[in-house]
Amino acid sequence: MSKYGFSKVGVEDVEMGHGGGGVLYPGLSLQDNEMRLGFLKKVYSILSMQLLLTVIVAATVVLYTPATLFLVKTPGLLLGISILPLILMCPLYAYHQKHPVNLALLGLFTVVLSLTVGISCAYTKGIIVLEALILTAAVVFSLTGYTFWAAKKGKDFSFLGPILFSSLLVIILFGFIQVFFPLGSLSTTIYGGLAALIFSGYIVYDTDNLIKRYTYDQYIWASVVLYLDILNLFLSLLQLLRGNE
């Protein structure tokens, strides 16, 4: 009991519990907060491994010229590599809670996407790749930090879901138009800029979901979603910078 008549336990509950001082967002119990923190650590650990694997595979493709030439000179294989991640997402979602199948599928999914990143980087100036990498890291760290801070203050970003989904559909349609009716470097720059804004929004939206809505056994799927956000942001910035060459 303190001199003000409040027990220390009561003070700690206000400071660390529902008062929001030590929890991820207001109203989260201390027990759930501990479980959620463990979940977040697991997701970001897996995400870090995915990004590290992507750097290794992409760097190998860029630095080992025969591998790049082989992929480029084999259109069928290149098309298969482009489509395979979309196919893999189905079993990955279906088995994302089945260990160790989920990890095997996640590894294959990451390697295939890393090959496409490597090919994109191989035909881009090194300085542009470095700039895109630095910008991506800065945006991801800034938006992630902001989202955690905003969640602690009671802000909610679920309203972004429909807006971002509609914007994504528009940008995909614009991309198809670009393939069949190229509109020049200016449109490429615009496309890259808009896509970068959309995936920046997705980082905020998906991080907010990570903090509040994913169940504790959805760590694989949560890491996949954030990985795709970061990868697409990097590729969008790469395209934006390439358009300004």
Q: In the 8-state DSSP scheme, what is residue 155? A: -
| pLDDT confidence band for 14 (50 / 70 / 90) | very low
The answer to whether 208 and 151 have CB atoms below 8 angstroms apart is yes
Q: In the 8-state DSSP scheme, what is residue 125? A: -
3-state secondary structure of 7: coil
Q: What is the pLDDT, as a whole number, of residue 5?
A: 42
Q: What is the pLDDT, as a whole number, of residue 10?
A: 39
Question: Does residue 20 carry a pLDDT above 80?
Answer: no
Percent over 90 (pLDDT), the chain: 50
pTM value is: 0.86
pLDDT digits (tens, 9 = 90+) for 157-195: 999 999 999 999 998 888 787 777 776 677 778 888 899
Q: What is the pLDDT, as a whole number, of residue 206?
A: 96
The answer to whether 198 and 164 have CB atoms below 8 angstroms apart is yes
Q: In the 8-state DSSP scheme, what is residue 106? A: H
Q: What is the pLDDT, as a whole number, of residue 67?
A: 76
pLDDT digits (tens, 9 = 90+) for 45-69: 999 999 999 999 999 888 888 877 7
Question: Does residue 132 carry a pLDDT above 90?
Answer: yes
Give domain limits for the chain.
Answer: 39-243
The answer to whether 238 and 124 have CB atoms below 8 angstroms apart is yes
Distance in angstroms (rounded) separating the CA atoms of residues 165 and 80 = 26
Q: What is the pLDDT, as a whole number, of residue 57?
A: 92
Question: Does residue 8 carry a pLDDT above 60?
Answer: no
